[in-house]
Structure 1
C-alpha cells in the first residue's frame, strides 16, 4: 500500500494544473487516497502567491497511529519549490479525524516556523472518514 500510495502521489504531482485550493473539500479532492491508507502519512500542499497548488509532497510515512514530522523536512520541501504558503495534510487510518494533542502541538510549531521562514501555514487538514480543518475548527491560530 505504501509504495502504491507514494507512486500515485508522484504521478499526480506531474498533473498539477494550478488548482485553486480554498477549502478542506479541495484538499480532500487532491489527497483523497490518503483516506484509505493503512498508515499515517503527513503531506504538504505547496501553494504559490496566487493560492494555486504548485506541488504535493509526502513528508513522512508513519505507523498505524503516528507519523514523525519535523519542521526541517517540512520547510526544506517548501523552500525548494518556492512556495508562498502551505496546507498541511495528514490522515487518521482509524477514520476519526479528531486531532490528537500531538497534532495540535506540531501544527503550532509549524505555524511558528513558517512565520520565521516567511511561508504561511494556511491550514492543517486531517483526513478520516471526513475532512477536518484545524483552522475551521478554531483549534489553532493561523
Structure 2
C-alpha cells in the first residue's frame, strides 16, 4: 500500500502541464521514475489537440512481471481531463522492453475503445533499459 501511494504520488508530481512529447525518448524521459520501479506501472499521458501534456495518471500498479489494465480505468482520467489523445506507457522492471503478446493485445483493445470514445491513442511505449514504441515497431495500427 505504501509503495503504491509513493508511486502514484511520483507519477502525479512529475507531470508538467504543457510538455510537448513527440518521440518515445521524450516519453522515457518524462516517465523516468518508471525505470526505477520494482513493479509494472501502467500510465496514461493525457494530451490536448496540440499533443501537449494535460496530465498523466497511474492506471495500474502490478507485479514484477504484469499489470492488470482495463479500458474503463484508462479512459476515466482521459475523459475527466478533456483529453483529445493520449500516450500509453508502462515499464518492464526486468529491463527488457520487448512487448509481450498481452501488451500488444491490450494496446489493440485500447485503440479500438479510443476510436469509439473519440480519444486517439498515439502510441504505447514500453520502458525497460531503453524505450520501445509499439508504433515505431509496427506492432499495432494507431490512428
| Superposition TM-score tier, normalisation by shorter sequence | over 0.9
State the match for 2:96 in structure 1: 96
> What is the CA distance between 1:3 and its match in structure 2?
3.2
Residue 69 of structure 2 corresponds to: 69
Q: CA deviation at 1:8?
A: 1.5
TM-fit CA distance, 1:26: 0.7
The residue number in structure 2 matching 1:110 is 110
If the length of structure 1 is used for normalisation, what is the TM-score?
A: 0.95
Distance 1:116 1:6 in 2: 28
Any gaps of 5 or more consecutive residues in structure 1? none
Aligned to 2:125: 125
Structure 2 matches for 1:1-142, cutoff 5 A?
A: 1-13=3-15, 16-142=16-142
Alpha-carbon distance in 2 for matches of 1:79, 1:66? 25
Q: Is the 8 A contact 2:17 2:55 kept in 1?
A: no
RMSD after superposition: 0.9
Q: Distance in 2 between matches of 1:91 and 1:81?
A: 23
Separation in 2, partners of 1:47, 1:36: 24
Deviations 1:105-126 (A, max 9, x none): 0000000000000000000000
Number of aligned positions between the proteins = 140
Structure 2 unaligned spans of 5+: none
